[in-house]
């Protein structure tokens, strides 16, 4: 994939069409609002291969990203997994030969996710109540400035990946977690270059003319108080060789103000161009399932 000097993606033709119902559902999802963070109910709460027992939602907003990035047999990390909408979707994409490692430190939410995984007999899903952050020190928290939940063992993604399969995709579900989680994933980013699916802060950094990470930002002080600094996040990713791409209603783009959800890809990643081709014209609404 190429990119011109202004940050625009060069014209790339072709993309995976997929089943007609999924294309229609994706376009419908791009234009529909959500109710209290949940999608309008439909009869399609399933991944491309399975129908799951549990809450019935329209296809998750960012499901096409999982479809484009992951392959059967891959591993995916879902940090701040919540009720597991994307955990289940990823499990369907990677199949029985793959793995999904879901991290959810909130006890009640984690228990609900565990029950859903057990009910659907998803042996490829591995659950953890660990608080993923920048440090594995006692008392560390997944979000800077947020008190750790009792019983949630602190861990870094570097430490986890050293003992388990490294991921092809890492999703970080919460806006306030992204920077701290990635601070503890330096070795993982350097050695394995996974794709990163992130939520950007509500008042995002504006792109400069280059990818140096020296972007201006409106309302940055408000986000520092919540433990998230978008400028630091951009700088961290740029230093690691990552390019941040918008997930917009018109598809994947490297231009303009950061969208609420972004996909960060390493310039040297072998699947970079294939993923860009697939997502270039895929409508991607804001994720409201987290």
Sign of CA pseudo-dihedral 115, 116, 119, 124: negative
Label residues 160-185 b or e (16+ Cβ within 10 Å = b).
bbeeebbbbbbbbbbbbbbbbbbbbb
pLDDT number for residue 38: 39
CA distance 224 to 210: 24
Backbone angles phi, psi at 36, to 5 degrees: 50, 40
Residues of the chain falling short of pLDDT 50: 1-49, 56-57, 138-150, 204-227
- 206-238 pLDDT, tens digit each: 444 344 333 333 333 333 333 455 788 999 999
The pTM of the full predicted model, rounded to 2 decimals, is 0.73
What's the pLDDT score for residue 200? 82
Q: CA end-to-end span of the chain, whole Å? A: 30
Q: What is the 3-state secondary structure (H, E, C) of the chain?
A: CCECCCCCECCCCCCCCCCHHHHHHHHHHHHCCCECCECCCCCCCECCCCECCCCCCCCCCCHHHHHHHCCCCCEEEEECCCCCHHHHHHHHHHCCCCEEEEECCCHHHHHHHHHHHHHCCCCCEEEECCEECCCCCCCCCCCCCCCCCCCCCEECHHHHHHHCCCCCEEEECCCCCHHHHHHCCHHHHHHHCCEEEEECCCCCEECCCCCCCCCEECCHHHHHHCCCCHHHHHHHHHHCCEEEEEEECCEEECCCCCCCEEEEEECCCCCHHHHHHHHCCCCCCCCCCC
The CB density around residue 225, as the number of other CB atoms within 10 Å, is: 9
pLDDT at 51: 54
Residue-level pLDDT at 244: 96
Q: What is the pLDDT of residue 256?
A: 87
Alpha-carbon span 73 to 94, nearest angstrom: 5
Residue 241 is encoded by which pair of tokens? 């060789």
Predicted confidence at residue 177, as pLDDT, reads 82
């Amino acid at each position: 994939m190429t990119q011109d000097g202004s940050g625009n993606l060069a014209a790339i033709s072709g993309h995976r069409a997929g089943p007609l119902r999924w294309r229609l559902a994706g376009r419908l999802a791009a234009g529909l609002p959500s109710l209290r963070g949940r999608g309008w109910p439909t009869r399609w709460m399933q991944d491309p291969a399975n129908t799951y027992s549990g809450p019935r939602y329209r296809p998750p907003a960012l499901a096409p990203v999982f479809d484009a990035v992951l392959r059967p047999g891959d591993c995916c990390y879902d940090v701040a997994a919540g009720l597991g909408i994307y955990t289940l979707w990823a499990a369907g994409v990677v199949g029985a030969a793959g793995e999904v490692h879901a991290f959810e430190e909130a006890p009640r939410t984690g228990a609900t996710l565990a029950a859903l995984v057990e009910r659907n007999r998803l042996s490829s899903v591995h659950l953890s109540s660990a608080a993923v952050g920048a440090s594995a020190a006692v008392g560390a928290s997944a979000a800077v400035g947020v008190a750790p939940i009792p019983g949630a063992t602190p861990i870094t993604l570097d430490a986890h990946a050293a003992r388990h399969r490294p991921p092809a995709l890492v999703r970080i579900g919460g806006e306030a977690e992204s920077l701290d989680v990635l601070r503890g994933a330096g070795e993982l980013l350097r050695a394995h270059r996974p794709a990163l699916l992130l939520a950007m802060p509500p008042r995002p950094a504006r792109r400069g003319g280059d990818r140096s990470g020296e972007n201006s930002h409106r309302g940055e002080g408000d986000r520092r108080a919540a433990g998230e600094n978008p400028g630091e996040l951009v700088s961290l990713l740029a230093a690691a060789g990552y390019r941040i791409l918008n997930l917009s209603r018109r598809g994947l783009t490297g231009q303009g103000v950061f969208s609420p959800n972004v996909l960060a890809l390493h310039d040297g990643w072998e699947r970079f161009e294939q993923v860009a081709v697939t997502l270039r014209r895929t409508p991607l609404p804001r994720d409201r399932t987290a």
